[in-house]
Chains A and B, each alone.
Chain A
Amino acid sequence: MDQAMYNRAVDARAQVMLKAMSELPSGRNIWAVHTMLSQNRGQDQLHDIVTRGLGDFTLGLTGSGPFQILPVMLLLCRWEHVMSAETVELIRRFFTEGILERGNTENHWMMFYVGNLLAAERWPNEPMFWNGRSPAAMQKEATRWLLGTIEHTARIGHHEYDSPGYHSEHMAPLIGLYEHTRDAHLKQQVEHVLTLLVADMALEYYKGSWAGGHSREGYRQNTWTRSGPVQTMQYLYFGGEEFNPDYHLHGYGIPAAIAGYRPPALFADIALDRSKPQVVKKSKASRTIFRHVDRETELVRKYTYMSQSFALGSSQLGIKEPAGPIDLVSWDLTWHGPKHQAKIGCNHPYLSPGRFSAFLNPLPQEARRSIGGGKPYLQRPDRLFGASPFEQMMQHDGTVLVLYRIPKDDEAPFVNVYLPMSIDWHAQGGWLFGNLDNFYVALRPIGKYIWEHIRESTNDSIMVSEGGLIDNWLLHIEEINAGLVLEAVEADAAGDFDAYCKDRAKRDVDLSGWPVDRRVGVETFDGHQMAMVYDGPHSVDGEVIDYNAWPLYGAPGAEAELHTGKMTFRYGDQEVKVDFGIDPTKPMMPMRVIG
C-alpha cells in the first residue's frame, strides 16, 4: 500500500473512532473530549471537563500526576483556539501552582515529561513552575530524559516493552510531542522512536492480538485474546478488521486518533500479512531490578513464531531469584478466537515477597502485604501471569520447551498450565492434543499433573477495567522439577490429525537427563532436535543458540543490531531506514524507572 492510500485509510478509521467515542459518556473526560471537539461539539462543556479532570490540584492528596499532566496539555495544544480564557488560565495554574507527581514507571515519566515540556514551551516566561523551578529548567530536564529514553530504546530496546496495557501510554505522549513540540531535533528523534514502537506492534500483530512475551500484560489479562488499550492503536494503524467499539475505543487511544501523525505504511502490511510463517527476534531492555541481586538483569531476548493460524512466542528473561516482575508474561500460544478460548500458557505462581521489594522501595518485611493487599490476585496460587526466576525456556519455530526447577521450600511448588475448554482435548501417551481445524496443538506436561477447573472473576477493583470470567481448565503440575513441551503445527503441514498425534506421541520427550543432569530434549514435528540444559546451553540440531548475538530486531523485513541506532524495515518494494545518530561510545542516561 502506498503512503497516500494508507494515510487515507487511517484518516477514515480515525474518523470512525472519533465519532463513536464522541457519543459515549466516556468521551467526556480530558483524554477523550477531543472527540466531541472534532465533531464541533462540546465547547460549552470543556471548562467543566477540564475542571473535573484536574480536580483540586493544589491539595496534593488527589493525585495530580501523569494521567492529568499529559492529557490536559495535549488538549490545550490542540484546542486552545476554542477554549475560554478561563480554561486556559486554569491549565496555566495547574502547571504553575499545582502539586504534581512524576510516578515511578516508564510510562508515568513519559507522560509527565511530555506534558511538562509542552507546558514549558507554552508558558516560557512564567517566573516559576509548579516545582519552584523556571520553565527553562523544566524544559531542559524533560528534554534530557526524553532524548535519553529514546536513545535507550534505539540502542537496547524499549524498557517497558511490548505491553498491550502500556504501549499506548508511550505512543500517546510521543505522538503529542511529535505534533506540538517546537524543538526540531527532539521532534525528529520522536518520529524515529515512534517508528520503532509501531514496528514493535506490527511484527507480532496477530489478528487483533499482540503475540509473544510482554513486559507487562496487565493483571489476569493474559488469557484474553485481545487485551489492553493498544487495540485502539492496532486498529487505527493496521486496520484489517471491522470496527468494534468494545475493542477499538479507549481514551488513551484518542490522542492518536485525533493526531495527524501517520507511521510508514509498510507496517500495516507487515502486521496483516500472515501468509508465510516467520520468526521474529527482538532484544529488549529488562525491567529494573534494584536490589536482592548482585548483578544487573540481562537484556530480554524474544522469539516469536508468527504462523498462518497461530503465533507462539517466548522470552529469555535473564532474571535471578527473587526477581519476578509481577505482570510480565514470558510466553504463550495465541490464535484467533473468543476471549479466554484462544490462549495457552503456563506459569509458576512465584509468591516470594522479594519479587516486590526487588523493584519497589517498601521494606522487604512489608512489601508483600502493602502491595498484595491492594492487588490480591498477585498472591493467588492459581495465578497465570507474572515471572518466576525458576522458569527457563527455549523455542524453535512452533515448539517451545519450558522447564522449572523450583526449590523444595518454595510456597508454590507447582506449575499452572492454562487450557481453554473450547478445545476437545484428548490424551495419547504422555501427550494432550487439540485439533483447532487449521492447526494442531500438542502438549507434553513434564511431571505428575492433575486436571483442575479454574473459575475466577475479575471483580477486584484495582487495575482491572472490565469483567471477564476465566472459566477453563488448569493443569496443576505438582512437581518442583516441572516442565512443558508445547508444539503447534499447521494442519496443512501435518496432515491427518490422528496420524499427527500418533507420530507425536511416539517421539516422546527425552527425559533421560531430567532432572539429575538438568537436560531435556525433544524432536520437533519436522525433525529438528531441540536440547535444553537448565542453567546451561540451548541447542537446535546440535548448534548452541547464542542469545548474546541476538539482534535488536531480526525478522524478514526487520534488521537492526544492538547499540547502532540504525534499523531497516522492508515489505515488498517499500523500505524504511531509521538512523538515530547514536554515538555508541557514549554512556547511556541511567534509567530510573521500574517499568
Chain B
Amino acid sequence: MGSMWLVGSNGLYCGSPLEGWQAIGAYSFPVNGIAQLGKQKILAAETGFWCVPEGNGRWIQWHDETLTSVLGVVPVPVGVGVVTASAYGIATGELDNIGSPRWTWHSDGLSVNARYSNVVLVDPNNAVRWIVGTETGVLVREHGEGRWVHTSLVGHPVRALCYAAGVFWAGADGGGVWRSEDGVSWLQAGTGLKGTTVFSLAWTGDRLIAGLDGGIAVGTGEGRWIKTGPNIRVRTIGADGDLWLAGANPGGLWFSETRGKVWRKTGDFISVRTLSRQEVG
C-alpha cells in the first residue's frame, strides 16, 4: 500500500490513486493549502482558515475577521503553530482569552505586490526564518528579528517553493525554476524553462518535478528540463518515489507510476489546488 494523500479541491479529500478518494466532511470551501499539526489538519481556504480535528469531525474556525483569502500555510514554532500566506500578507496567530486565534500581520509595511503572499517555506536550518513567494518575487522574513530581507529573485510572481538536496528552489511566473543556497541570492536552475510559468515544485528523491502552465518538467536543476505529462495547468505537484501526482486547476488530478512517462487521471476533481502526503503518526 502506497502513501495516502490529502487533496485540496472544493473541499478536502483523502486517498490515493489506487484506493480512490474520500471527502473529509461535507465542506466545499476551496482549499489552497494544507499543513498537518500532529493529528490535526490546518487548511488555508479561499474564505477562511480551518482546523480539521483528529477523527475528521466538524471543522473548527481558525480565522478571525482579518484572515481570509488564505493561500498557504506551514507549521512554525510561533503562536498557534503556523504561519499563513494570504492575499494580504503573512500572519501568525495567538489564542485570545476565550481560545480563538487572533492574527498578527507582518507584511503591512511592504508594497501591495510584495504583501500578496502565494506560498511560504520554513528554512530547515532556522524555524523562524521564512522564505515567502510573493507577487513581486521572493522575500525572506527573519521573524526572530522582525525584519524583511529582499532577495535577488524579483520581478516575477513566485507561487512555488521547496527545499531539497540542500537547496531552496522557487518557481516563477514567466521565469522558470530558480535555486538558492541561502534564500537570498537566486540563480536560474537548468535550461529550457526560460519564460515558462512554474506553479509548483516537488522533489522525487533524486530529481525535481515542476508543475507548469501547460504540463510538467523534470530535471535536476542542472542541464535541460524535460517536459512531460498532459498539457494542464499544474497548480500543485507531489511525489512519493515512483508515484507522481499532478493537480490542475482546471484539469483535475493526474498520476504517474512510471516516473512521468505515462499519466492517468484519477478521481472526479475539476480543480485541484494543493496536495499533501498524509503524515502517519
B-contacting residues of A (Cβ < 8 Å)? Answer: 58-61, 99, 101-104, 113, 128, 131-134, 136-137, 140-142, 144-145, 148, 289-296, 361, 363-366, 370, 589-590, 592-593
- B26 and A99 contact, CB distance less than 8 A: yes
With A137-B98, A590-B88, A590-B105 in contact, do A363 and B25 touch (Cβ < 8 Å)? no
21 chain-A/chain-B pairs, Cβ below 8 angstroms: A60-B28, A61-B26, A61-B28, A102-B47, A132-B58, A134-B98, A137-B100, A140-B100, A142-B65, A290-B87, A294-B112, A361-B71, A363-B233, A363-B235, A363-B249, A365-B197, A589-B65, A590-B66, A590-B105, A592-B66, A592-B67
- In the assembled complex, how far is the CB of residue B117 from the closest CB belonging to chain A, in whole angstroms? 10
Q: Which A residue sits closest to B99, measured CB to CB?
A: A137
Interface 0/1 of B49-71, CB less than 8 Å to A: 00100000011110011111101
Query: CA of A363 to CA of B67 in the docked complex: distance in angstroms?
Result: 19
**Contact of B11 with A by CB under 8 A:** yes
- With a cutoff of 8 Å between Cβ atoms, the chain B residues found around residue A61 in the complex are 26, 28
- A59 and B87 contact, CB distance less than 8 A: no
**Contact of B33 with A by CB under 8 A:** no
From residue 13 to 46 of chain B, which have CB atoms closer than 8 A to chain A? 25-29, 32, 46
- With a cutoff of 8 Å between Cβ atoms, the chain A residues found around residue B231 in the complex are none
When the two chains form the complex, which single residue of B61, B98, B157 contacts A136, counting CB atoms closer than 8 Å? B98
Query: CA of A104 to CA of B68 in the docked complex: distance in angstroms?
Result: 8
Query: CA of A270 to CA of B19 in the docked complex: distance in angstroms?
Result: 69
- In the assembled complex, how far is the CB of residue A319 from the closest CB belonging to chain B, in whole angstroms? 12
**Contact of B48 with A by CB under 8 A:** yes
Q: Which B residue sits closest to A296, measured CB to CB?
A: B112
Query: CA of A389 to CA of B42 in the docked complex: distance in angstroms?
Result: 39
- A294 and B113 contact, CB distance less than 8 A: yes
The secondary structure that dominates the A interface is: loop
The interface size of chain B toward A, counting residues with CB under 8 Å, comes to: 47
- In the assembled complex, how far is the CB of residue A136 from the closest CB belonging to chain B, in whole angstroms? 6
Query: CA of A140 to CA of B97 in the docked complex: distance in angstroms?
Result: 11
- A144 and B116 contact, CB distance less than 8 A: no
**Contact of B205 with A by CB under 8 A:** no
- A290 and B213 contact, CB distance less than 8 A: no
- B26 and A592 contact, CB distance less than 8 A: no
- B99 and A291 contact, CB distance less than 8 A: no
- With a cutoff of 8 Å between Cβ atoms, the chain A residues found around residue B28 in the complex are 60-61, 99
Interface 0/1 of B88-123, CB less than 8 Å to A: 100000001011100001001001110110000000
Residue of A101, A142, A592 with highest tally of chain B CB at under 10 A = A592
Query: CA of A132 to CA of B60 in the docked complex: distance in angstroms?
Result: 4
- In the assembled complex, how far is the CB of residue B251 from the closest CB belonging to chain A, in whole angstroms? 10
- In the assembled complex, how far is the CB of residue A369 from the closest CB belonging to chain B, in whole angstroms? 9
Q: Which B residue sits closest to A108, measured CB to CB?
A: B47
- B233 and A58 contact, CB distance less than 8 A: no
- B112 and A592 contact, CB distance less than 8 A: no
- A141 and B65 contact, CB distance less than 8 A: yes
Query: CA of A475 to CA of B262 in the docked complex: distance in angstroms?
Result: 55
- With a cutoff of 8 Å between Cβ atoms, the chain A residues found around residue B112 in the complex are 289-291, 293-296
- With a cutoff of 8 Å between Cβ atoms, the chain A residues found around residue B235 in the complex are 363
- A103 and B65 contact, CB distance less than 8 A: no
For the complex with contacts A104-B46, A361-B87, A363-B159, 10 further pairs of A-B residues with Cβ separation under 8 Å are A58-B26, A59-B26, A60-B28, A101-B47, A141-B100, A295-B111, A361-B46, A363-B249, A365-B213, A590-B105
